[in-house]
Amino acid sequence: MNGIGELARGVVMAGIKGTAFDETLPQFGGYMLFGEADAPLYAIRALTDALRERAAGLPPLIAIDQEGGRVARLHRDVEPMPSMMALGAAGELDLTRRAGEQIAFDLRRAGCALDFAPVLDLALEPGNRVIGTRSFGADPQQVASLGAAFGVGLAGGGVFPCYKHFPGHGSTATDSHDALPLISTDEVTLRARDLVPFAHVARNAAVIMTAHVVVPAFDGERPATTSTRVLTGLLREELGFQGVLVTDCLQMQAIAAQDSVSGAVDAFAAGADLLLFSHDVAVALAAAAAVEEAVDAGRIPLARLQEAHRRVANLRAAAAAPLPLDAFPPHRGVGREIARRAITVVRGIPHADPLASVAVSFGGTEPELKREAAVVEELIVPSDPADADIAFLLDGLAQRGRRPLVLARRAHLHPAQAGAIAQILERYPDALVVSLLEPFDVPLFASARHLLAAYGDDEAAIGGLADVIFGSSLASGRLPVSLDT
C-alpha cells in the first residue's frame, strides 16, 4: 500500500514554466504547463514525454489552460482559437463541439490530457476583467448548452474537460488573483442563474474546478474552495458530481493572503481532490507535507486521502495516449471560422475599403488590422489616453484624410478612451467602431452609425474581423450579453 506521503503528493498538481525538463522536479500527481509564447510544439511535447517516461507507475496528469482567446498557453503549431464569448456570439452547438475537438487534437499532440476549460461563469458584471470574454455569455441556458458541447468536443478528442469556476465567478468585479471576491447575490437567484451551467454538466463531468469566492448564500464564512457546504454539500451531494474536484491555483491572493498551505489543507478537508499550485514547487511540496501531517494527526481521515487519490489515479489511468506531432487536424481553420461567424453588427454596414481606411487601436501593442491588410495604416494609443495622446491621434487622422476604423477596448472602464472615441465620431460620423473585447462598451457609442462587436483581439479574432470588414464574409453573430441601451 502506498505510504501517506506518496498519497499526499499524488493529490497535488504543480506548475511548470517553460519547456525545460528538470530531473529534480518532485513527482506529483499532476503538472500544469505554462509553456512560452514562442515555444514550438515539439519542445512542449519533449517535456511531457520526459514527465511520463520517468514515472514509475501511472503517468502524471498533465494539464494546461487552453481556452481560446486571451487564455491560451500554446500558440505555435496549433490552431488559433478565439474566445469562448466568440463561440457564444456564434451560438452554434456543432461549431462549439468542433472547437473542442480541434483543441483536444492540439493538446494531445503536445502530450496533455486535461484542459482547464470550458469556463461556465456567466458574463454578468461589466467590470469583471478576469472572466470577461472567457465566458460564453450571460444566458445560463445558452452557457450550459455551449459549455456541454465544448466539453463533448474535448472528450471526444481524447482530452478531459475541466468545467470552471464553481459555483461561479462572473457576477463580481473583484479578481481572485488579487483579492477575495464576495458574491452577495441571494440563493434563489444563484440557483436560477449562476449554478445552472454547472448543474447541467455535474453528473457526467470528469473534472470541475473551484472558485476562490465567498458566497454567503451558501457559506458566509469560507471561500467556496475551502467550504464543505459548497464542495461536498452542494456540488457532490446535491448536484451529483462524482469526478475529480480540482482547486483553482492556491497561490492566488484570494487564498494566499491568508496562507496557501493551510488553505490547501482546508480545501482538501472540504472535499477537493487535487490541489493546484501554479507557481512554486516548494509550496506544493509543503502542502503535500501538510496534508500528510493532517492525516497522521487524525485531523483529516485517511479514507478522505485514499478517496481523493483514487479519483486522481483513475483519471491518470484513463488518459488517452499522445498523438503524433504530424497528425492531420480534424477541423483546420475552425478558429477563424468561429471568429468570422461571431462578428456582430449592432448597426450600420460592416464593410470598409482598406485603401481608404486608417485603424485606430486603443490599448493595442502592435499593428493588428495591418497584419491582415498591409495597406491599412494604424495609429496606436493607450487604453487611457492622455490629452497629448488624443491630440496626436486627432492630428494623425486629419493628416491622413482616411476613414477611421476604431478598435475600442473596454471603453466603459476607460473614460478618456470613451471621450476620445466621441471626438472621433463627432469629426468623422461615418467611422466604423469595433468593440474588441466584452461589448459592455457598446452603449457608449450611440452616435456611431456603424458599430460591430468582435469579442477578442487575439489572432483568430482579428482575422475573422478582417474577413468581414475587408472581405465578403457575412457577419451573423448575436450579442451574448445583456446591455443597458
- Any idea which residues carry the catalytic annotation? 177, 248
Rounded to an integer, what distance in angstroms lies between the CA atom of residue 125 and that of residue 138? 9
Q: Locate cell 503524433: which residue?
A: 324
- The answer to whether residues 84 and 118 touch, using CB atoms and an 8 Å cutoff, is yes
For residue 35, give the nearest of 88, 72, 84 by alpha carbon. Answer: 72
Beta bridge partners of 182: 214
What's the rounded Cα separation, in Å, for the pair 20 and 53?
15
**What is the pairing mode between strands 450-453 and 432-435?**
parallel
CA dihedral (145, 149, 155, 156) in degrees, to 10, reads: 150
- What b-and-e string marks burial along 119-155, b requiring 16 or more CB atoms within 10 Å of the CB? bbbbbbbbebebbbbbbbbbbbebbbbbbbbbbbbbb
Closest CA to 301 of 7, 59, 81: 7
Cell of 77: 503549431
Distance CA 444, CA 313 (A): 51
Cα separation, 404 vs 432, in Å, equals: 6
Pairing state between β 12-17 and 275-277: parallel
| Residue 88 identity | G
